[in-house]
Amino acid sequence: MFEAEPGLIIWTWLCFGVLLALLSKFAYKPIVAFLDSRAASIQEELEGSEAKRKEAEDLLVKYKTQLDEGRLEVQKMIEEGRAVGEKLKREIVDKAADESKGLVKKAQEEIDREKKKALMELQEQVAELSVQVASKMIQDTLQPKDHEKLIEDALAQVKENYAKA
């Protein structure tokens, strides 16, 4: 067991040498190259994801700023809208008041005009009735009392007409 065996020594070197040559060519090279390339790609992906994370953070900050700005803008728009609304409301109310005043005034004028017209018609009727009365009196002998009565009747007629109008 302890004797030197030159044949065994040569076989050992041969076996080891063959294994070293085979593994170097067919196993280590592809495995090490694969491990290195995978490590490099993982490193690359990590760096890429880091850059993307930074980009996302920047975007988040940007969007937050934009959101805050938007919020302020919306607030401002609401305030402006409210002010415009208030102004419009006041204008509409004022306009409505003016229009109603105009309408009342117009109605008043219409009433006055109708009143005048009615009075004129009344005068015409009175005159006509006076003519009719006069012609009647001419036909009949009229006493002073008759005159008085006729005038009163005529006036009563006018009043009645006026009330109807």
Partner 1 sequence: MAEGSSGGGGAMDPLQNFEIHPLVEIQLGGLDLSITQPVLWMMIAVAVVFGVLTFVASTLKRSPKGLQNFIEMTVEFLRKDLVHAVVGEEGKNWFPFIATLFLFIATCNLLGLIPGSFTATSNINVTASLAIMVFVFVQFAGIKKKGLIGYAKGLVPSGIPKPILVIMIPIEIVSLLVKPFSLAVRLFANMLAGHMVIYVFLGMIILFKSVILTPLPFMGVVIMYAFEIFVALIQAYIFAVLTASYLSDALHEGH
Alpha carbons 48 and 64: distance in angstroms, whole number: 24
What distance lies between CA 97 and its chain's CA centroid?
27
In the bound complex, what is the minimum distance in angstroms from residue 59's beta carbon to partner 1? 30
**Nearer Cβ to partner 1, position 15 or 131?**
15
When the beta carbons of 4 and 138 are compared against partner 1, the nearer one is: 4
Give Rg (Cα) of the chain. 60
Nearer to partner 1, 28 or 63 (CB): 28
**Which one-letter DSSP state was computed for residue 3?**
S
Which residues fall within 8 angstroms of residue 162, CB to CB, at 6 or more apart?
118, 122
Nearer to partner 1, 20 or 93 (CB): 20
Judged by the rule CB under 8 A, the positions of this chain that interact with partner 1 are 1-2, 4-13, 15-16, 18-20, 22-24, 26-28, 30-32, 34-35, 38
| Nearest CB to partner 1, comparing residues 18 and 93 | 18
Question: Is the CB of residue 154 less than 8 Å from the CB of residue 133?
Answer: yes
* Shortest CB 47 distance to partner 1, Å: 18
Rounded least distance, CB 19 to partner 1, Å: 5
* Least distance to partner 1, CB of residue 8, Å: 4
Dihedral sign computed on CA atoms, order 56, 60, 66, 67 = positive
Pick from 132, 138, 121, 139: which is nearest to 154 by CA? 132
Q: How far is the CB of 55 from partner 1 (least distance, A)?
A: 26
